[in-house]
Chain A
């Protein structure tokens, strides 16, 4: 075979290079936020960052792995309860216990996957939801952490790693210092999540994930281990969701089974964020979480109308922009902030 050209592969785009610089600046500003921002702004940003983390993991599951789970609240709740349990029973520092949150969620994800992977499509969704309910009911029996009514983080656990330092450094009260530390942790978690998922998608495993999403039979016939890819995203998502859950309830400092295993708060909103923003992209959940937060702030005074507007908007986007807001933008402009497309170009002759 005579080859007339040599070829090189490129993923970078001019926009992505600008985006990388923008992201670096944004990150520096985000780290410095506690220096100048009000406490309520820090709390809002904490909410945005943790929801972004949950949305990125759900997107990894559904948008790339084809696993439409409606049971992610199981892992949020497990992560949260693992943290409370470790702090209350063992006196563990809650920040160190965050790792335990992830591990607890990942461990429970193994039997969940074993059971749920036997189900396809809508049955998988229902199966994961059922598992989440079972976990919620089981945890509600755990008397040491308050059973069905829940409990608060004990006073000595509230003085977790970093709080005293921030307290003296910024000259703020302990409660404000806790918000600052949890904000930084949420920022770190979101950055690691987005960065880690982006890295995964650029490896050959990422290609395999996309192939499994598009056509699982064909993927198997070209040598992709489809089963292993599903396990990988399910366990990784459970771990990350668990850590996020632990962090969310560390900031709240009060937990109950109904709140920590809420399907509305930790799965329905998250699905809304991903669908509105654009499923199957990293940019989508970022846009989605901003839209979600804006809507929540605007409609905060309208009670249940708020949920109806969210639902209506979700349906409209699904009908008229099935690839979400980011899909609309990137279709019109060809923009990719986190490029994963491998483009083949002939190498210019020297």
Chain B
């Protein structure tokens, strides 16, 4: 059964079509990677899935429910967690409080009920050492980890990761991949937008290619990487 289903979803800003008749299904428990050149409409797709934008046409179903017109807050409660491309921590709150606000409001539970869960996420995302540090003072890797941890704290069924490996060193990237793998192993469905292809391909089971808002490829990573469109886009090979 698919946890997320997009049917003929389109979105334009004026004359610019950023999502063009996008349709795909994500089975429960899958890790799906999304690639495509800058401006292909990848982040827009996340904004459509998490409800920040409403599509002009088409239908979005999450966990069997039509959520096409549901705002972000309710989608979060339904189980859509999101990390932002540019980390957006609650800078004056501590790392632990960042998770606490996500867990209490994202799951509609009390602080007492979620404390142990937040602590477990802090350990899993290797943030326990900075639990009581204000989030505004964190390093880039820690901010990226906080994005991940905060999305996890909302108790997601589906986790949207937006270029979470971007800007990290090789070593940092490897350690983050391990964390993402452990989250995926826990049974959470992941959709991951990433330019760092080797990071992406070490985790995802399928790749989706976007270009000019259109889906131009969807399949196993090896197959997609070999395809003509991807080689054109990423390697600039003219065929």
Q: State the A residues within 8 Å of B (CB).
A: 1, 3-9, 204, 207-208, 210-211, 213-215, 217-226, 280, 341-344
Contact = CB atoms under 8 A, between A and B. Distances in A.
A210 B96 contact: no
A221 B90 contact: no
A207 B119 contact: no
7 contacts: A3-B116, A210-B90, A210-B93, A210-B97, A218-B150, A222-B76, A341-B132
Contact of B132 (A8, A223, A226, A344): A344
Interface in B101-120: 101-102, 104-108, 110-111, 115-116, 118-120
Interface stretch (B32-40, B81-89, B193-201): B81-89
A208 B76 CA distance: 15
Contacts of A219: 90, 101
A204 B110 contact: yes
B123 interface: yes
A341 B97 CA distance: 8
Nearest to A5: B119
Given A223-B154, A341-B94, A204 B115 contact: no
A343 B73 contact: no
Nearest to B93: A210
Contacts of A8: 115
B92 A7 contact: no
Given A1-B124, A207-B104, A341-B94, A221 B116 contact: no
A224 B132 contact: no
Nearest to A341: B94
Interface in B166-225: 186
A221 B100 contact: no
Nearest 5 pairs between A and B by C-beta?
A223-B106, A222-B102, A223-B76, A214-B90, A218-B88
Contacts of A213: 92
Nearest to B150: A222
Contacts of B106: 222-223
B218 to A, nearest CB: 26
**Interface size for chain B: under 10, 10 to 19, 20 to 34, or 35 or more residues?**
35 or more
Nearest to B108: A223
A210 B111 CA distance: 15
Given A215-B91, A344-B132, A7 B116 contact: yes
Contacts of B104: 204, 207-208
A1 B154 contact: no
A3 B123 contact: yes
Contacts of A208: 101, 104-105
A344 B92 CA distance: 16
B182 to A, nearest CB: 8
B77 A223 contact: yes
B158 interface: no
A211 B115 contact: no
Contacts of A221: 50, 52, 72, 76, 82, 84
Contact of A218 (B84, B118, B132): B84
A344 B96 contact: yes
Given A221-B72, A342-B111, A207 B101 contact: yes
Contacts of B115: 7-9, 344
Contacts of A222: 76, 101-102, 105-106, 150-151, 153-154
B138 interface: no
B131 interface: yes
Contact of B111 (A204, A215, A220, A223): A204
A4 to B, nearest CB: 7
A210 B124 contact: no
Given A9-B111, A215-B91, 5 more contacts: A204-B110, A219-B101, A221-B76, A342-B97, A344-B96
Contacts of B123: 1, 3-4
Interface string B46-76: 0000101000000000000000000111001
